[in-house]
Amino acid sequence: MIVGVPRESFPGERRVALVPAVIPNLTKAGLQVVVEAGTGFAAGYPDADYAAKGAKIVASRAEVFGAADIVVQVLCYGSNDKTGKEDVPLYQRGQVLIGFLRPLGSIETIQEIASKGVISFSVELMPRTTRAQSMDVLSSMATICGYKAVVLAADTSPRIFPMLTTAAGTITPGRVLVIGAGVAGLQAIATARRLGAVASAYDLRPAAKEQVQSLGGRFVELPIEAKDAEDARGYARAQDETFYKRQRELLGKVVAESDVVISAAVIPGKRPPILVTKEMVASMAPGSVIVDLAGERGGNCELTRPGEIAVEYGVTIIGWFNLASTVPYHASQMYARNITAFLLHLVKDGKLQLDWEDEIVRETLMTRGGEVVNPRVREFFSLPALPAAPKELAKT
């Protein structure tokens, strides 16, 4: 089988789906790799490196799609709302498509992908289990984003992070508050601590307390309890507006005392809750910084402008998204390792093996045979349930 890697077409996207180092592992599994010329250049991976590892370099995107049994991308059509639609005419019936597909975004886009007869896998839907840990792309990219958010904040802030004792006296350490202690939030805490800041974190999930403290952060406990704080996949559940109103009241004092706020509270398929109001921003000291990692979906801060930097009440609010693309070398390396593990899980003896009883296949498979087949996606969009799928979906 041939695995094709086209160049990412989303404006400003510098990552690549496979890096040269993973190609020998795919070759051993009976897979050939075809790469569009220049695909890895922006991430620091020249064509010569791919060729040296056994990949075939082709001149055009159409050649990649024309030759590939499996196409791997970072941002497929669905997550790429700028240029992704241009790939649709290149899809072939029975071709496998793997990457970010934004499965809980637009049902019309998903159905358009399905109508082409492709077998698509959405990496966002990867289960967070021990078996799937090596394939967990979301965690890999969140790790990069948490790191970069703190680096951005440190570069923007007029204050330094570490405590220093100097001939000019002692400089107090910076105070960083992280809201949402998921993978990105935990990496933000670790990075802030490495830079010498005093790090605090809040999360509505009680289980996050131990993780925050293990990284040297202070867990902010509020006298308010969430109902069913997390779902079976470990993600925070949405709460009612009464809860969020009380939460904002209690968080106000902590935000006002912080030099930097990193917000990373995201709920899959829903708009992020507003946790930092304009009144809270106004209470912060001039020069303070907010990095809103939920900016792409609207933001946790009321004053966030998605994709932009805003200055309100003397506070800089960074609403950039796709931060992982700003660290493309290692983001691509991590993504490629995850995708390689997934490919080796799907392909046995040089053939695609899809077992509906396998949780990894069942939860990530989004379209097949012209239909949207993912149960979670169908439920989210209130589509009628499909007949039970056979255990063995395909052997090709």
pLDDT the model gives residue 227: 73
| Superfamily covering domain 2-136+328-395 | NAD(P)-binding Rossmann-like Domain (3.40.50.720)
Cα(350)–Cα(234) distance, rounded to whole angstroms? 34
> In the chain, what are the domain boundaries?
2-136+328-395, 142-326
pLDDT for the residue 396? 44
Give residue 237's pLDDT: 75
| Within this chain, domains 2-136+328-395 and 142-326 share the same CATH topology | yes
Contacts of 319 (CB under 8 A, 6+ apart): 292, 295, 299, 301, 304, 305, 306, 307, 308, 309, 310
Residue 228 CA: distances (Å) to CA of 113, 225, 238, 241, 300: 35, 9, 9, 15, 20
Of 72, 111, 117, 113, the C-alpha closest to 94 is 117
142-326 belongs to which homologous superfamily?
NAD(P)-binding Rossmann-like Domain (3.40.50.720)
Q: 336: which 2 tokens?
A: 């490629």
Tokens linked to 373: 């087949």
pLDDT at 234: 64
pLDDT at 395: 44
**Rounded Cα distance, 44 and 281, in Å:** 38
The pLDDT score that the predictor gives to residue 356 is 87
Mind listing the pLDDT tens digit of every residue in the chain (396 residues)? 999 999 999 999 999 999 999 999 999 999 999 999 999 999 999 999 999 999 999 999 999 999 999 999 999 999 999 999 999 999 999 999 999 999 999 999 999 999 999 999 999 999 999 999 999 999 999 999 999 999 999 999 999 999 999 999 999 999 999 999 999 999 999 999 999 999 999 998 888 999 999 999 999 988 887 777 666 666 667 788 888 888 888 899 999 999 999 999 988 888 999 999 999 999 999 999 999 999 998 999 999 999 999 999 999 999 999 999 999 999 999 999 999 999 999 999 889 999 989 999 999 999 999 999 999 999 999 999 888 766 666 444
CA-CA-CA-CA torsion sign (303, 309, 312, 317): positive
How many other CB atoms are there within 10 angstroms of residue 37's CB atom? Answer: 16
Does pTM top 0.85 for this prediction? yes
- Name the residues annotated as catalytic: 128, 133, 136, 139, 235
Sign of torsion over alpha carbons 286, 289, 295, 298: negative
